[in-house]
Structure 1
Amino acid sequence: IWASKFLGQEKLRGRVTGLDLLPQYIERCYQRNFSMFFLGAAEGVAQRFKEQLEEKYPGIQVVGVYSRPYANEFSGEENQKMIDIINAANPDILWVSLTAPKQDYWIQQNYPQLNSSINIGIGAALDVAVGKFNRAPIWMQKSGLEWFYRFIKEPKRLFRRYFIEAPTFIPIIIKQKILEK
């Protein structure tokens, strides 16, 4: 959103996070009897989320969950195992709760092999939904500082993402601004 403002593009209405998206779509999936699979999150988190959903929505179609210990990359064997587990469950919707942009790359790389009709990256939404983490205060969300709140809570895990990887985006935006002139 900040980059679009800097580039003088039309004002975006806002951002949509996995946390914003998840409750509304879960409700719709339940109403339409869509089957769902949850991939990722910390070990046990997806299972706890499934149990919460089954309590709140009797008969909801959560056809599978799969979590594993955190790793920067999946081996080819591990990746194929995840695909096989998901495809065996044959969900309509696959919710992918990995770190960004890992989940986006994973979906892009693997969607041709997946039987699911819709694949959605939701980041840390499951962790927040089961109470493992709290979400940033509303004022931080609205001012674009939710990332900073998360960094304060998990500095070791997020330092590289926010202060080494993310700044590589800044020269790209500046170059784009110069080229537009």
Structure 2
Amino acid sequence: MGKNGHKRITLLGVEIDSYPFDVFMHKLEEQMRRGKGTYVVTPNVDHIVRLKTDGEFREVYRRASFVVPDGVPLLWASRWLGKSLPERITGADLFPRLSARAAETGRSIFLLGATPSVCERVIARLRGEHPKIKVAGHYSPPFGFEKCQDELKKIVQTLKQAKPDVVFAALGTPKQEKLIFHLRTQVPVKLFLGVGAAFDFYSGEKKRAPAWLQKAGLEWAFRLAHEPGRLWKRYLVNDPRFFWWVVSEKFLGKVHD
């Protein structure tokens, strides 16, 4: 068991919650009912690699309410190391599920990130699928927002005025996680979740990998083929270290902290 009684495993020095999707949704609902400031992180290979060198990112993870596995390679590694994570739980899959749940419970949502046009298309689709959904607003921070104190203050004020129950942040890693960590004590929100490219997928701005590629652990290859200029270094230079670390832990018992 991990903190707060969570069922957790430790993979390459990172504690990860070990729940099937539906069980996690139930646990998250229970946590949200207890109060505000709940936030979820969804580690993939890129996150694990970043955590080795980014102290601020490690603190975000250490304080997270839930840590659920986004990447299929994490499932493979956990099973190979005899720890077995049961299921992939991605931000892109959580976004529509939690939005539907918000519509059922009367909770309001806020979209933070992507472009204004993408957010508007997301909202239009949500309202078409869930007529009762309450959208408190949306905001698209400019490039470099994380380095500008005035912009960070603007985000806080925007959320305070909107008063959402749930904030979905689609700003990319590690920006969205670090911003959520900052916001959680500044704004009285029940749940913060970083969802990566979920708005782009949901709006149709970008095509998500077919389900069979996702299941095969090849969503990264699909994304690399569609965005080589942005993603080549992540997938071809940085992330391969993860696989060496897994082999090292398996055969040498060495955990790369």
Which residue matches 2:78? 4
Alpha-carbon offset, residue 46 of structure 1? 1.3
Which residue matches 1:30? 103
Which residue matches 1:98? 171
The one of 15, 20, 29 equivalent to 2:93 is: 20
Q: Quick one: percent identity of the two aligned structures? A: 36
Please list the CA deviations of residues 55-95 of structure 1 after superposition, one character each: whole Å capped at 9, or x if unmatched: 33224210010113444844222122112111211111111
The one of 20, 30, 46 equivalent to 2:119 is: 46
User: Judging changes above 3 Å, is the alpha-carbon distance between structure 1 residues 142 and 64 closer, same or farther for their aligned structure 2 residues?
Assistant: same
Contact 1:43 1:68 in 2 (8 A): no
Contact 1:94 1:120 in 2 (8 A): yes
Which residue matches 2:234? 161
Counterpart check, 1:119 vs 2:192:
yes
Contact 2:141 2:151 in 1 (8 A): no
SS of equivalent to 1:163:
helix
Alpha-carbon offset, residue 42 of structure 1? 3.0
Which residue matches 1:144? 217
The one-letter code sitting in structure 1 at the alignment partner of 2:117 is G
Unaligned runs of 5+ in 1: none
The one of 141, 153, 172 equivalent to 1:68 is: 141
Alpha-carbon offset, residue 10 of structure 1? 2.2
Higher mean C-alpha deviation, range 30-39 or range 53-62: 53-62
Alpha-carbon offset, residue 114 of structure 1? 2.1
User: Judging changes above 3 Å, is the alpha-carbon distance between structure 1 residues 38 and 74 closer, same or farther for their aligned structure 2 residues?
Assistant: farther
Contact 1:34 1:93 in 2 (8 A): yes
Contact 2:119 2:199 in 1 (8 A): yes
Higher mean C-alpha deviation, range 135-144 or range 17-26: 17-26
Give the alignment's TM-score, normalised by structure 1.
Answer: 0.86
Higher mean C-alpha deviation, range 63-72 or range 103-112: 63-72
Alpha-carbon offset, residue 176 of structure 1? 4.3
2:157 & 2:197 partners in 1: Cα distance?
23
Please list the CA deviations of residues 97-144 of structure 1 after superposition, one character each: whole Å capped at 9, or x if unmatched: 121233222212331112211101111111011101111112210011
The one-letter code sitting in structure 2 at the alignment partner of 1:132 is E
Alpha-carbon offset, residue 37 of structure 1? 0.5
SS of equivalent to 1:9:
coil
2:149 & 2:246 partners in 1: Cα distance?
34
Counterpart check, 1:89 vs 2:162:
yes
Alpha-carbon offset, residue 16 of structure 1? 1.1
Give the alignment's TM-score, normalised by structure 2.
Answer: 0.62
RMSD of aligned residue pairs (Cα, Å): 2.3
The one-letter code sitting in structure 2 at the alignment partner of 1:161 is R
SS of equivalent to 1:141:
helix
Contact 1:42 1:127 in 2 (8 A): no
Higher mean C-alpha deviation, range 117-126 or range 10-19: 10-19
1:169 & 1:108 partners in 2: Cα distance?
25
User: Judging changes above 3 Å, is the alpha-carbon distance between structure 1 residues 166 and 38 closer, same or farther for their aligned structure 2 residues?
Assistant: same
Which residue matches 2:182? 109
